[in-house]
Amino acid sequence: EYRKIKDEDNDGGTVSDDIENLRGKGFSGASVSNVPVREQSKWKRKTVVTLALTFLTSSQAILIVWSKRAGKYEYSVTTANFLVETLKCALSLAALARIWKTEGVTEDNRLRTTLDEVIVYPIPAVLYLVKNLLQILKNLNIISTGVLYRIILKKKLSEIQWAAFILLCAGCTTAQLNSRSDHVLQTPLQGWIMAIVMALLSGFAGVYTEAIIKKRPSRNINVQNFWLYIFGMAFNAVAILIQDFDAVVDK
């Protein structure tokens, strides 16, 4: 839904309602009643989607930490990642089932696909797999996402958007600091390099996934998510076999 709203703005929707574009245009105290009904509805939709996206994104990290502390068992990161991918895949299938029931199976929402279409999904799936719980430098993925968004998707970011990227990165970084945070600077060189590489992979995975989805915009988003999560499950299953197989079997 978020991508759909952004595409409407970029590809044909009116841009006069963007706060950024209203800078310096005398938008001071304009009455809401003067705004067309369609624009009011669009802003309401944007607000709901933004709040939902904020809640889902922020709750993910909290739930991950909670899952580590709540149970009395040895924690397995690979198993947790596999179950996350499985849950997302199940939700995509449930959404598809609802669409099939109301709209029927069409060329754009069927699961059957071609090799050319599905061959691109293992790439972001692998990138998401290697993305790990990093140290403080993991927040560089915020900046790298903006840079890669500009390079790969050819979208120009404005000054206010770059400022938002930098503030978000700084905020996420300082939020993790504590009284012993100076020890982060004692990380070996190999750790810094690995953290930077992981941050770049994280940003690239997000931008690459968006590029895949926008390559065929008519294709149902749940179908595209399904194939991404299928490969995510497969790669995480391999990680379980390699890293945690004995622990999973025994416990």
The model's pLDDT over 147-182, given as tens digits with 9 standing for 90+, comes to 777 777 777 777 887 788 777 767 766 655 555 545
The answer to whether residue 204 is domain-embedded is yes
Mean pLDDT of the chain: 75
The answer to whether residue 225 is domain-embedded is yes
What is the average per-residue pLDDT within 122-127? 84
pTM over 0.75: no
Query: Per this entry, what is the length of the chain?
Result: 251
For residue 133, the 8-state DSSP code is: -
One domain, residues 102 and 220: yes
Show the CA angle centred on residue 3, arms to residues 199 and 139, nearest 5°: 20
pLDDT at 61 over 50: yes
The answer to whether residue 142 is domain-embedded is no
The answer to whether residue 198 is domain-embedded is yes
pLDDT at 96 over 90: yes
Q: Which residue has the higher pLDDT, 37 or 21?
A: 37
Q: Which residues constitute the domain of residue 45?
A: 39-74
One domain, residues 198 and 239: yes
- Look at 91-100, 115-124, 199-208, 224-233 and tell me which has the smallest mean pLDDT: 199-208
Alpha-carbon torsion angle 172, 176, 181, 184, nearest 10: -70
One domain, residues 168 and 204: yes
Q: What is the pLDDT of residues 194-244, one digit of tens each?
A: 767 777 777 788 888 888 888 888 889 899 999 989 998 998 898 888 888
What integer pLDDT is reported at residue 99 of this predicted model? 93
One domain, residues 62 and 168: no
The answer to whether residue 108 is domain-embedded is yes
Q: What is the CA radius of gyration of the chain?
A: 21
One domain, residues 51 and 95: no
The answer to whether residue 227 is domain-embedded is yes
What integer pLDDT is reported at residue 21 of this predicted model? 47
Number of domains in the chain: 2
One domain, residues 88 and 208: yes
- Look at 40-44, 73-77, 229-233 and tell me which has the smallest mean pLDDT: 73-77
Q: What is the pLDDT of residues 126-137, one digit of tens each?
A: 877 776 444 544
What is the average per-residue pLDDT within 35-44? 81
The answer to whether residue 216 is domain-embedded is yes
One domain, residues 99 and 209: yes
What integer pLDDT is reported at residue 17 of this predicted model? 45
Show the CA angle centred on residue 183, arms to residues 180 and 186, nearest 5°: 175
One domain, residues 47 and 102: no
**Helix/strand/coil (H/E/C) assignment for every residue in the chain:** CHHHHHHHHHHCCCCCCCCHHHCCCCCCCCCHHHCCHHHHHHHHHHHHHHHHHHHHHHHHHHHHHHHHHHCCCCCCHHHHHHHHHHHHHHHHHHHHHHHHHHHCCCCCCCCCCCHHHHCCCHHHHHHHHHCCCCCHHHHHHHHHHHHHHHHHCCCCCCHHHHHHHHHHHHHHHHHCCCCCHHHHHHCCHHHHHHHHHHHHHHHHHHHHHHHHHHHCCCCCHHHHHHHHHHHHHHHHHHHHHHHHHHHHHHC
What is the average per-residue pLDDT within 26-51? 73
One domain, residues 208 and 105: yes
Alpha-carbon torsion angle 218, 118, 233, 142, nearest 10: -60
The answer to whether residue 51 is domain-embedded is yes
Chain centroid to CA 144: 14
Q: How many other C-beta atoms are found inside a 10 Å radius of the C-beta of residue 228?
A: 25
One domain, residues 61 and 167: no
d(CA 190, CA 237): 28
And the tokens for 107? 């060329």
One domain, residues 49 and 105: no
One domain, residues 54 and 165: no
